[in-house]
Amino acid sequence: MRESRRARLILGTLLTAALVILTVDHRLGGSSPFGPLRTAGAWLFGAVEQTAGSVTRPIGELLGAYANAPGARDEIQRLEAENARLRTALIAGRIDAARSEELRRMLGLAGRGGYKIVTANVIARRGSPGFEEAVQIDAGTADGIRPEMTVLNGDGLIGRVVSAAAGTATVVLISDRGSATGARLEGGQEIGVVHGVGDNGRLVQFRLLDSTAPLAPGSRIVSFGSQHGTPYVPGVPIGAIERVEATPGELTRVAFARPFARLSALDVVGVVVRAPERDPRDSVLPPRPQPKKEAVRPPRRDTLVRPERDARDAALRGRDATDAVRSPARDSTVDTPEQDLGERYPGEERSPGRDSARAEVDPGGEPEGAEVAPDRGQGETGRESGGAVRPPARDPGDTRSPERDPRSARTPGGESRDSVRSPARDQGDGGRSRGEGGR
């Protein structure tokens, strides 16, 4: 009984204390005298909690993981399904964007040329068992496609329809060895024939009917057009000349062109179901990049020569400047710096010889060199009679550069380097003085 009374007393005291603490804390709020107690508790137990928490957090997470395990499995499955769906949608969106871009370009081309096209997708391609280069498209007679119609894509000509079923059609590419397409050089009347050479459409052969017409790498060819637009409508870009073959003595000139359309990677194509009312000529060709434009225009002899001369002049100017620093009277003493000049500017002196070498190996290196290549190949006549008996191809534009002719006529035939260099150097010096005089 006494024990119980004592206990009650203690309980009463404690409860009173608790109520007092509670009241004081409640009444005084922020300025409570128990603030320091709270702070100390927070500091002490905060540290303890932090330490213990870092140790026991994995346990708590494990418990949580167990508690959530059934839901987590569902969640994982749901997320995986969603992930797969999103990934598919992403890929589909990417493909759609690419196709949309192709379609847009093709519609632009068709609009420029006035072609009325039916779009189709390439669904099959003739593989290695077989000699033809042909693809199958998913549009047929139900879409208004008949045999002998032109097929193109956003880049250029692809081929022609050879047979059409209700829902599909077969297209023979221009790279097929049996395919022949009438073609015309850009910006002129020169016509020729494009033959396929196989090779997965990397190159096509362009045979220019007029062997004297100027033909340089970089010039572009468009389709010439057949009668009533069948099988080829006019004006479709075909490709750009990549290299010109040296064909001495032949009636035609042969060049190899790179097709604008990547014939090995076809997706969206268009079949021209109605030819334009009139020949679009060159208007379908995409605009040329600006620097190239100047370099490969038809009156290209002038514009081609000029940059080279300019470059040389610049070099001369630089040399003059250095000479001016070293000895101002260098110009009067031409014979002394000869050796020096030959060493310091060997490329300039040797350039004709190098040009001819390159023309034999790879005529496509430089437009100018390639054009001169046939002449150089049969350089005997040119060498004997100077610039006068050059083939007519070279004549029209040559009026501007008389100082180049003797050099280019003389040097290719020379066997030893010295015999080549000495006249060339003379000419180079002459050219320099003339060039300076002209300036």
Partner 1 sequence: MTGVLIVLATVLVQVIMVNRVALPGGATPDLVVLAVIGVAMARGPAAGAVIGFCAGLLVDVMPPTAHLLGHYAFVLAIVGYLAGRGLGTPVTTVMLCVVIAPLLAAGLGGLISDPRVTVGTLTDQVPLTIAYTLILSPIVMWLYNRGTRPGYAT
Check binding of 73 to partner 1 (CB under 8 A). Answer: no
Check binding of 41 to partner 1 (CB under 8 A). Answer: yes
Check binding of 325 to partner 1 (CB under 8 A). Answer: no
Among 1, 3, 189, 388, binds partner 1 (CB under 8 A): 3
CA-to-CA dists, residue 321 to 218, 306, 313, 344, 345, angstroms: 36, 22, 12, 14, 15
Q: Least CB distance from residue 10 to partner 1, whole Å?
A: 5
How big, in percent rounded to 5, are the helix, strand and coil portions of the chain?
A: 55, 15, 30
| Exposure string over 160-174, b if 16+ CB within 10 A, otherwise e | bbbebeeebbbbbbb
Output 53 or 111, the one with its CB closest to partner 1: 53
Among 1, 2, 31, 34, binds partner 1 (CB under 8 A): 34
Output 3 or 74, the one with its CB closest to partner 1: 3
Output 67 or 89, the one with its CB closest to partner 1: 67
Check binding of 94 to partner 1 (CB under 8 A). Answer: no
Among 1, 4, 248, 290, binds partner 1 (CB under 8 A): 4
Count each helix (H run) and each strand (E run) in the chain, helices first. Answer: 10, 12
CB 141 within 8 A of CB 165: yes
Check binding of 67 to partner 1 (CB under 8 A). Answer: yes
Helix axes 367-377, 346-361, angle to 10 degrees: 70
Check binding of 84 to partner 1 (CB under 8 A). Answer: no
Output 65 or 89, the one with its CB closest to partner 1: 65
Check binding of 75 to partner 1 (CB under 8 A). Answer: no
Q: Least CB distance from residue 76 to partner 1, whole Å?
A: 18
The 3-state DSSP class for residue 121 equals strand
Check binding of 7 to partner 1 (CB under 8 A). Answer: yes
Check binding of 72 to partner 1 (CB under 8 A). Answer: no
- Tally Cβ neighbours within 10 Å of residue 294: 13
Does an H or E element contain 164, and which? strand 157-164
Check binding of 165 to partner 1 (CB under 8 A). Answer: no
Among 37, 89, 97, 324, binds partner 1 (CB under 8 A): 37
Neighbouring residues of 401: CB distance < 8 A, sequence distance ≥ 6? 301, 305, 309
Side chain identity at 113, as an amino acid letter? G
Q: Least CB distance from residue 60 to partner 1, whole Å?
A: 5
Check binding of 28 to partner 1 (CB under 8 A). Answer: no
DSSP letters along 344-396, please?
Answer: H-HHHHHHHHHHHHHHHH-GGG-HHHHHHHHHHHTHHHHHHHGGGG--GGGST
Q: Least CB distance from residue 69 to partner 1, whole Å?
A: 12
Among 48, 97, 124, 265, binds partner 1 (CB under 8 A): 48
Among 1, 2, 59, 328, binds partner 1 (CB under 8 A): 59
DSSP letters along 56-90, please?
Answer: HHHHHHHHHHHHHHHHHHHHHHHHHHHHHHHHHHH
Contact residues toward partner 1 (CB under 8 A) are 3-4, 6-8, 10-11, 14-15, 17-22, 25-26, 32, 34, 37-38, 40-42, 45-46, 48-49, 52-53, 56-57, 59-60, 63-64, 67-68
